[in-house]
Structure 1
């Protein structure tokens, strides 16, 4: 594994292992989505994650990470990220729920996130999810050798702001590999007065826009983990782990 400006560059074997970790994550997220419906306790999704990790023989990446007590981040409506699954919280018609999930496979990490609609949601909520998902793919399209890291950020920011939505600034994407969080950080906005690193083949990045119907301002609840929008507006979150290659960006967190 080589380094470029503090960023680990992965070889083909390492990318293959990261790909398998992410394929498992994607498979689990597929199953979570199949179980999203009104009346379901959010702890069901935690149970599915732990059972599938045991089935696949992998370790949940988030469980115990810096003290996080669950395998799954389950965030509903105004919860942005790091929400707790619960036996007593039930999904209701019109909610949106975000799942952020990771595993460790043979020493390498997978990490991906999706937001799902619970039953019939408002047009506003549907638009928020669609814009966040498309912003992710616009950012991914810029992940090519020779581009600057902040071209990813600009693509996300420019698309989201076309719709007047807020872009969360407190939480950002990251490099990933033998560690869950590696350099570089990948903001979903272009920081003023900073210079992003050039992108090189072998970089593996977790790109993850978090977008709100209101402002970008965030609060963390008393559990010290759950991040919510300060104005309590809805938030959506989509994430893919991708590899930068000479043939263009390769999405690793899919089942295809």
Structure 2
């Protein structure tokens, strides 16, 4: 008996094949991983995610205007919570799988998921990632930025700059009917020019209707690997670039089990945008 592999992509009964159907089915027949149809957002869903993204970007703009040496990361958390809720939205991180705050604030060697605290005071020369996700009317938008506190070392400045370049290069590599692996390959190639490590234990992800959706967007890898990218998909690219090794660990002193730290405790930097794939490339929905 011959068993047929179950298709991920389903056409609309009674409707002629669209150009999208033909492209996706071609690659699925070649054995490539393709999205399910529910990952292709409708115009109404895209509009909702875009509106959420406006608030999410506004949160990070507010942080950019107010962040300074001597403030606690708990103050950043309050800025984010207040701005978000005053604009009719909800912080997605708050109480998500036990996470206790509204935003992630990751300083120096903390790669991601740093928990805001009254005792974490920003110092001259620190680099800090502020990562926020907004829910507005059920739609999610996710972004993070790096901030340099005062004057820092040339080494940290370069790390922050290259991490942003990795995001931009990854976005340029994201093309309609290309593959997620094209993104990771471009990012890894650029980061390794500087002998930096690209974190492999965490990745970007689909977003919009839920906090985390398919596909997983790895920031390393090979061209032509991973899921096919199709217009209407919404996802994050968020490379975590370490000054040393790519390896990381969970801070044993974190009672919540969230904070991720570089194995060699050298600094890390990350930038993240939410992107919409269009017929011509990606559009930024939150930055």
TM-score in terms of structure 2 length: 0.85
Does the alignment pair 1:56 with 2:87? yes
Does the alignment pair 1:20 with 2:51? yes
Does the alignment pair 1:227 with 2:222? no
How far does residue 195 in structure 1 lie from its aligned partner after superposition? Answer: 3.4
Matched residue pairs, number? Answer: 252
Q: How far apart in 1 are the matches of 2:46 and 2:35?
A: 19
Gaps of 5+ in 2: 1-8, 11-33
Query: 1:143 aligns to what?
Result: 174
Query: 1:250 aligns to what?
Result: 283
Query: 1:199 aligns to what?
Result: 229
Query: 1:184 aligns to what?
Result: 215
Structure 1 segment 77-226 matched on structure 2, within 5 A: 77-190=108-221, 195-222=225-252, 223=254, 224-226=257-259
Does the alignment pair 1:5 with 2:38? no
TM-score in terms of structure 1 length: 0.95
Q: How far apart in 2 are the matches of 1:33 and 1:169?
A: 28
> Which of 207-216 and 219-228 deviates more?
219-228
Classify the secondary structure of the residue corresponding to 2:174: coil
Gaps of 5+ in 1: none
> Which of 216-225 and 110-119 deviates more?
216-225
Q: How far apart in 2 are the matches of 1:191 and 1:78?
A: 27
Q: How far apart in 2 are the matches of 1:26 and 1:232?
A: 30
**Over 4 Å off, 4+ runs:** none
How far does residue 14 in structure 1 lie from its aligned partner after superposition? Answer: 1.0
Q: How far apart in 2 are the matches of 1:5 and 1:133?
A: 28
Q: How far apart in 2 are the matches of 1:90 and 1:111?
A: 25
CA contact 2:69–2:122 (8 Å) conserved in 1: yes
CA RMSD of the aligned region, Å? 1.6
How far does residue 37 in structure 1 lie from its aligned partner after superposition? Answer: 1.5
Classify the secondary structure of the residue corresponding to 1:164: coil
CA contact 2:112–2:261 (8 Å) conserved in 1: yes
Structure ranking higher on relative contact order (CA contacts 8 Å, 6+ apart): 1
Q: How far apart in 2 are the matches of 1:237 and 1:146?
A: 26
Q: How far apart in 1 are the matches of 2:46 and 2:186?
A: 25
Does the alignment pair 1:68 with 2:68? no
Query: 1:236 aligns to what?
Result: 269
